[in-house]
Structure formats: structure tokens, C-alpha cells
Amino acid sequence: MPKGTVGRDPRSGEILALNEGALRMTRRAMLTTGGLTVVAAVIPERVHQATRPQRLPFDIRDAIPGAENDNECIQCIYDTINRMVVLIGDIPFRDLFRLPLAELIPMIFPRIQEAAGLGLIASQAEVEALVEQLHDMGGSLLIEELFVRSRSQIPFEVLEVLIQLRRNGIRIPLPISRGRDAAMRLVAVRQLLEVAADLTFTDLFIRTRQDTPQSVIEAVHSARAVGLFSWWQNDRCCDQGGGEVPSTDTCVDQDGMWCNLPPPSHSFCSISSDTCPGDTPGEPG
């Protein structure tokens, strides 16, 4: 990719990461809600580098054999997963989806600085400003509502902020353009919260199928099927029972699907991994 260009989601075309280095100072950002004040001090803002960030606390590439050889579009997806792990990775779904943004945003806001320091956010000042706007204009909304409502049910100025956040690589759900899909989304997210309220975003990539109830795996993939977790793919699928050691898994090539093998064993597929066509989910292939 030429210097100064951007990485884009191969499906939506949205910006996921920049690869030109820069360094500049950001303003002091203050966010106040319900007596709680969060301050992000003046720090250098680093634009994402062409070379991958070093010493990340979590790097999804460590769970994907051959990840270093994947194309730039898939590398951008890996960066986006790492970015979202920093921002929301440890927040249980019950809070992530059902706390008002006015309560959720103060939990996330200081992490923008951390992600920027790791090279995972291209413009810290811009993202901070957008998050502040979202807090002020849509503080009463829930992430669940953003996912299940139609665009006509969300204030236009809030929708514009959501779109700008997406263009900065922040994968916040967008309202749907077709109202008839709302019912399927609502069923999927309620099923997810019923059986997996304690699950986190990071868990999607570090928990294996062997250690997770089938009802939770099904809920995750039902949500993925209607768009909640549909944005990651690395052209691999989970071949259950296809590993070198009997009864272990492996990832094999499959266009448009996702697979990763969490540490420490790297022998079993994560709960977010897509089952290879022809395999039965939950059973060795």
C-alpha cells in the first residue's frame, strides 16, 4: 500500500486504519456526566504506522498461524480487532449493550489514549471529539438500540457521529436501513444477552468451543449472521477435528470466513470461528 493511503474494510469500504506516521499534540479533553469527570491529558497523538504496533497487550495475529502473510485488507481487520479489544474488550455484554451511552462512554473514554499510544487509533483528537459529541447528543441511547433500530429512529446528528466513528475504525453498530430486519436483530441480541451476558468482546477470540456451552456459541453466530459480529473475516474456517493431533482443530483456507486458534494450545477454534462448510458445528469433521 503506498505511503499515506488508507486500509479499508473489503466489504463496506470504510476506513479501518492509516499507515502514514505522524506526531502532533492533542488538546485536553474533558467529559463530565453524573458528577463523573474523565480527563485525557495532553499527549502525543500517533498515526498508525505501516509496521505493526509492537508489544500489544493483545494481538489477534498471535492466534492465527500465517497471519503475517495475509493481505493488507485482512491486516486492517486484525488491527481493528486489536483496537476494539483495548476499547471495550473486558466489558461484559450486559453492560456493553444495555448501559446508556452516558454511563458507558466514561468507561471507554480513557482507553482512547491507550489505543492511540499503541498505534491503534489514527487521530486521537478526532475520536475523542466524536465520542464527546455522541455522549452529549445520544447519551440516553443503548448500543442494543443502535443495533436494532432503523436509521429513521435515530436522530440524524447522532447517525452522522456514528458514521464518522466507523470511518475512524471504531466498530460501533449502525442502525439498519431496512426496518424489516429489525425483528431478526432484536431476537439475536436478546438471545445473546440471555445466554451470554457475562461474555466479552475479547472472549470471542480467546475462548474455545471446547470450553463454551453450545447455546453460547449458537447465540454468537446468530448475532454474527444478522450483522453484529459480521465485520471480521480472514479467509479461513474451522476444521473441527482436523488438527495434526487427533481430536484437535485447525484453520483451513475458506473465502469470506473467520478462524483463529487461541493460546496457549493453539489447538482448538475460538467461539467466533466459522465452521467449515460440510462440518457440523460442535462435532469433529
For residue range 211-254, list pLDDT tens digits in order: 999 999 999 999 999 999 999 999 999 999 999 999 999 999 99
CA quadruple 225, 229, 235, 238: dihedral positive or negative?
Answer: negative
Pairing of strands 236-239, 250-253: antiparallel
Taking only the tens of pLDDT, the chain with its 285 residues reads: 433 333 444 444 444 443 333 323 333 333 433 333 333 332 233 333 334 545 799 999 999 999 999 999 999 999 999 999 999 999 999 999 999 999 999 999 999 999 999 999 999 999 999 999 999 999 999 999 999 999 999 999 999 999 999 999 999 999 988 767 899 999 999 999 999 999 999 999 999 999 999 999 999 999 999 999 999 999 999 999 999 999 999 999 999 999 999 999 999 999 999 999 987 655 544
**236 bridge partner residues:** 253
Q: Is-contact 131 143, C-beta < 8 A?
A: no
Decide: pTM greater than 0.85: no
